[in-house]
Amino acid sequence: MTSVPQGISQTGDKLLLTPGPLTTSKAVKAAMLHDWGSRDAVFLAANKDVLRRIAEIAERGESHVTVPVQGSGTFAVEAMITSFVPKSGKVLICINGAYGVRAKRIAEIAGRAVATLEFPEDTPVDPAALDAALAKDGAITHVFMVQCETTSGVLNPIDALAEIVAKRGRRTLIDAMSAFGALALSKACVYDALAASSNKNLEGVPGLGFVVCDKAALAQTKGNATTLVLDLHDQWQGFEKTGQWRFTPPIHTIMSLAKALDEHAAEGGVAGRGKRYAANCAVLVAGLRKLGFETLLPDALQAPIIVTVRMPADPKFRFQTFYDRLKDHGYVIYPGKLTVADSFRIGCIGRIDQDQMRGCLAAIAATLAEMGVASGAPARAAAAE
């Protein structure tokens, strides 16, 4: 029998190899062991600092400001779309996965005019197709795009897409949820707003969404919002006038995010974190292939965030059993969310390193052996042999 190292976090928990929430460090969780009032000077200073450091990570300089919202990442995406796209506007949603589909629903519920540009889940959004769509429809004011589509793990070419949007005189809105903090955009990339959250690559706990906003564009959004709580303009003005949140802030999330941002900086910022995730991803993909598994994406399209694996063809393979046994070994993986292929996912992000990835691969090998599955090869590869 292969020996399988137990997957275990700094606080003795199972490792979350998922798209988030993720495994966080002990120090990040320990930062929450206090009470603070929402008007506490210590909290307000930390809050201001956290928002400034997020804008720094975005590398936009003084032209942009971070506006936070209470809630998960989707709250930030909804705040971004409904605050930036005016009632008279029209948003083109680029879709190659579930998060694009979700953005379309948000815009529709808000009563905004919507157009879509759709691609299969294993295909990046094509800049030439975007250019053609914008040339054809002069009513489109905004374009929404997802940097890393976590549904499959595919990386979209945001720099090229945003350049086309700017050339055509329209505005870019980015869902960078599963990219921010590990995958940089070019400094020349122009956008009105970019949404992300505390609990993905920043390795904080859940509870805070935020939108990095171009101040000049944000200043024009007064009155656009469709809800009080997700009104980014009002939220921004609140901070400008009083330095305080309008409604109860997720104080513990913010205080622990301050610690998580220290760890992010200590690791070498976006480049350092991206490097660790890329190493995790490379170890994972190579190990899976050795066991016969096939990844959905070719390496060139794979973001080092989450890997989609095609379901093995062996009739002895049962995903639920596989999942449960890996969990017993301390590795929590994630079901698939694809329509193009039966699959499951394994995340490369969070407070996890290469050794832990190797431990997960050992657990996968042991589990396949226990199940009597000879190879992880999917049906298509088996048929091709």
Ligand X SMILES: *Cc1c(COP(=O)(O)O)cnc(C)c1O
Q: Which is nearer to ligand X, 107 or 363 (CB)?
A: 107
* 237 contacts ligand X (rule: CB under 6 A): no
As a 3-state breakdown, the chain gives helix, strand, coil percent values, each rounded to 5, of: 40, 15, 40
* 106 contacts ligand X (rule: CB under 6 A): no
Name the one range near ligand X by CB under 6 A: 50-58, 111-119, 174-182, 252-260. 174-182
- Name the closest residue to ligand X (Cβ): 73
State which H helix or E strand residue 331 sits in: strand 331-332
* 197 contacts ligand X (rule: CB under 6 A): yes
Q: Shortest Cβ distance from residue 182 to ligand X (Å)? A: 12
Q: Residue 269 burial (CB < 10 Å; 0-12/13-18/19+)? A: middle
Name the one range near ligand X by CB under 6 A: 9-17, 69-77, 121-129, 312-320. 69-77
Q: Rounded CA gap, 250 and 245, in Å?
A: 10
* 73 contacts ligand X (rule: CB under 6 A): yes
Name the one range near ligand X by CB under 6 A: 66-74, 131-139, 290-298, 346-354. 66-74
Q: Rounded CA gap, 124 and 240, in Å?
A: 39
Q: How distant, in Å, are the alpha carbons of 83, 145, 254, 309 from that of 47?
A: 22, 28, 7, 39
- Per CB under 6 A, the list member of 99, 191, 236, 322 interacting with ligand X is 99
Name the one range near ligand X by CB under 6 A: 47-55, 72-80, 125-133, 358-366. 72-80
Q: Rounded CA gap, 342 and 318, in Å?
A: 12
* 93 contacts ligand X (rule: CB under 6 A): no
Q: Shortest Cβ distance from residue 47 to ligand X (Å)? A: 20
* 150 contacts ligand X (rule: CB under 6 A): yes
- Per CB under 6 A, the list member of 4, 7, 16, 20 interacting with ligand X is 20
* 74 contacts ligand X (rule: CB under 6 A): yes
Q: Which is nearer to ligand X, 74 or 321 (CB)?
A: 74
HSE toward the beta carbon, residue 266, CA cutoff 13 A: 6
Q: Shortest Cβ distance from residue 161 to ligand X (Å)? A: 15
State which H helix or E strand residue 149 sits in: strand 148-149
Q: Which is nearer to ligand X, 209 or 249 (CB)?
A: 209
* 72 contacts ligand X (rule: CB under 6 A): yes
**b/e 32-43 (16+ beta carbons within 10 angstroms → b):** eeeebeeeeeeb
Backbone angles phi, psi at 178, to 5 degrees: -95, 15
Handedness of CA 190, 176, 80, 104 (dihedral sign): positive
Q: Which residue has the tokens 């200590």?
A: 266
Q: Shortest Cβ distance from residue 149 to ligand X (Å)? A: 6
Q: Shortest Cβ distance from residue 145 to ligand X (Å)? A: 10
Query: Contact positions toward ligand X, by CB under 6 A?
Result: 19-20, 72-74, 77, 99, 146, 150, 175, 177-178, 197
